[in-house]
Structure 1
């Protein structure tokens, strides 16, 4: 039996999706020489953390919540992993092949041509973005988040069992690992990209759904105060730690707001963005890079930056829709072939 869609998850997912697009659009101004953050659209930070980290934190919380909502009662491993595989890889491979072909045609050289050919396996598996900062890869699209979310899916059945059967022990183990990563980690790999640093966010989302939380206004007030204080005080301690509690506090506030903002139009719009969120995630980076490269960002005004953002976002939506439909049609053909055999 198909479960009813939860509007608050669609609402937060839509906000997180748009925030990631804004992140990579604004990044083009932040990497100019000299940087021009004054031309960024909306903002580059939320409650003293980078807007990209904020959006990713919301995605991890949503992912934990959504998986727990669907699989709380039963999680048959073969069915679970098959569905995760089909939800991630075919669309990723289609988008990767299209982007690789386009970039090869435009640049007259294969992307990542200096990387050892054997490292193409990381692109096939969706881990090229996660590993790109440490080894040469053929990374084009998908970001490090894709590799991290794949690891989350691999671990989810174990985490689910722990949350359902021994929640205190599970939280204890995760928080010990988290504390070590915050306080004692010194290896040459970005700590923000390690899946265990995101586990408190994931577990919070799972616990939120498991408890079928009814909002206590006091929780919302506390969460709001945390966001305000972090914005005003601008603490300099661990950005990973700030991302965790700012993300969780933001989720609480956004879910609370979703109850007041829910109407037919909001349900439709958030549902559409949620439906195409993965396709948007896959295509947005390449489109932003190539569209913004055709403009002299040093000369455009702040107003023109907003006009450019709207244009870029429209193109992203068009290509996300195309990717989604191409993927759906290919999967239908594959399903028919399998059925015949």
Structure 2
């Protein structure tokens, strides 16, 4: 049975997707000295944390919430993993193949210096971006986030069972691991950044799951408290609190605020249409945006770019992202239809 659409999940997914695009556009400006903040789109941080970390936190929360919304009542593991596989890999493989050919033409060849061929397996299973932190891989698109989301899908049935059967024990165990991880490995583990380790994201994931499980609603008082936390952290910038803690509580607080905002803007048809569109193409956007940003931005002298022209460039990049993510989405649909009609249906009749 198809679940009814939850607007606030789509709304927050759209906000997170836009924040990631802004993050990767602004990233180059952060390496300049002095940093040209006026050329950046909107801001480089929210609630005292890097806007990229903020957007990723929202993604982890809505990922847990969306999965719990669909699978709270029952879960067939075979169907679950098959669906997750089909939702991730065909589009990823298609996008990677196209990006590989495109970069080959634009760069007159692609060089992965001294990368053993066996490591292409990491690309096939979608963790090349995550592993690129510690070794050379054939990484082009997808980044570390895709690898951690794959890990989330692997562990979700266990988290779901724990939250349903023993919620207090599950929460206590998860937060103990989370606190211990930050205390002992605040700088990461053997080159792997702390915020890319799945255990550091479990509190966000569990919060999203719990919120759906309890069918919670956000009152204006809860929204104001969440907003107060975000604003206070933005002004105080508490250096004594580990950054991972700040990402978690600012992300959760922002999630609460955005749910309330979603309840207000949902009535506007243009907002509903835009949110639905971004949410629908969010995975395709995630796959194509980084390559597009890099290739277009590399054609401009960012140091000579005015603030006004920076915004024009950003809008142009967004247009290309929209075009290519739409093409990827449609190409994926055609590819899956061909596979279904010519292979899956035929296998059923044999």
TM range (shorter): over 0.9
Say if 1:103 and 1:111, in contact at 8 Å, map to a contact too.
Answer: no
Alignment of 1:264-279 (within 5 A): 264-279=269-284
TM-score normalized by structure 2?
0.95
Separation of aligned partners in 2, 1:24 and 1:69: 30
Deviates more, 1:119-128 or 1:29-38: 29-38
Tell me by how many angstroms 1:103 deviates.
Answer: 1.2
Bigger shift: residues 104-113 or 250-259: 104-113
**Alpha-carbon distance, 1:37 to partner:** 3.0
1:339 aligned to 2:345? yes
Deviating beyond 4 angstroms after TM superposition, the runs of 4 or more aligned structure 1 residues are none
List aligned pairs for 1:123-272, cutoff 5 A. Answer: 123-185=123-185, 187-188=189-190, 189-236=192-239, 237-263=241-267, 264-272=269-277
**Structure 1 residue 101, shift from structure 2 partner:** 1.1
How many residue pairs get matched? Answer: 341
Displacement after TM superposition at 1:168 (Å): 0.5
Output one character per residue of 1:94-117: Cα deviation in whole Å (capped at 9) or x when no partner: 000111111122223324242111
Equivalent residue, structure 2, for 1:322: 327
- Aligned 8 A contact 1:111 1:140 in 2: no
Alignment partners' CA distance in 1, 2:331 and 2:174: 40
Equivalent residue of 1:2, what SS? coil
Contact 1:7 1:258 in 2 (8 A): yes
Q: Unpaired segments of 5 or more residues in structure 1? A: none
Query: Shift of the alpha carbon at 1:217?
Result: 3.0
Counterpart-to-counterpart distance in 2, 1:147 and 1:33: 33
Q: Which residue of 1 aligns with 2:73?
A: 73
Give the Cα separation in 2 of the matches to 1:284 and 1:111.
21
- 1:70 and 1:111 map into 2 onto residues whose CA distance is 42
* Distance of 1:102 and 1:260 partners within structure 2: 42
Distance 1:35 1:227 in 2: 24
Structure 2 counterpart SS, 1:259:
helix
Distance 1:41 1:12 in 2: 19
Q: Give 1:257 shift.
A: 0.8
Partners of 1:234 and 1:101 lie apart in 2 by 44
Say what the alpha-carbon RMSD is for the aligned residues: 1.1
Any stretches of 5+ residues in structure 2 without a counterpart?
A: none
Query: Is residue 112–residue 139 contact of structure 1 (8 Å, CA) maintained in 2?
Result: no
**Conserved in 1, the CA contact under 8 Å of 2:129 and 2:142?**
yes
Structure 1 residues 288-299: aligned runs within 5 Å: 288-299=293-304
Q: TM-score, normalised by structure 1?
A: 0.98
What do the CA deviations read for 1:248-299 (whole angstroms, capped 9, x no partner)? 0000000011111112222111011000000000000000000000011110
1:197 is displaced (CA, Å) by 0.3
Contact 2:219 2:260 in 1 (8 A): no
Residue pair 1:104, 1:111 contacting (<8 A) in 2 also: no
CA distance in 1, matches of 2:338, 2:32: 45
1:110 aligns with 2:110: yes
Corresponding residue of 1:287? 292
Shift of 1:34: 5.0
Partners of 2:207 and 2:223 in 1: how far apart?
15
Q: Which moved more, 1:57-66 or 1:178-187?
A: 178-187
Q: Secondary structure at the match of 2:302?
A: coil
How far did residue 166 of structure 1 move? 0.4
Give yes or no for contact 2:65–2:205 (8 Å, CA) kept in 1: yes
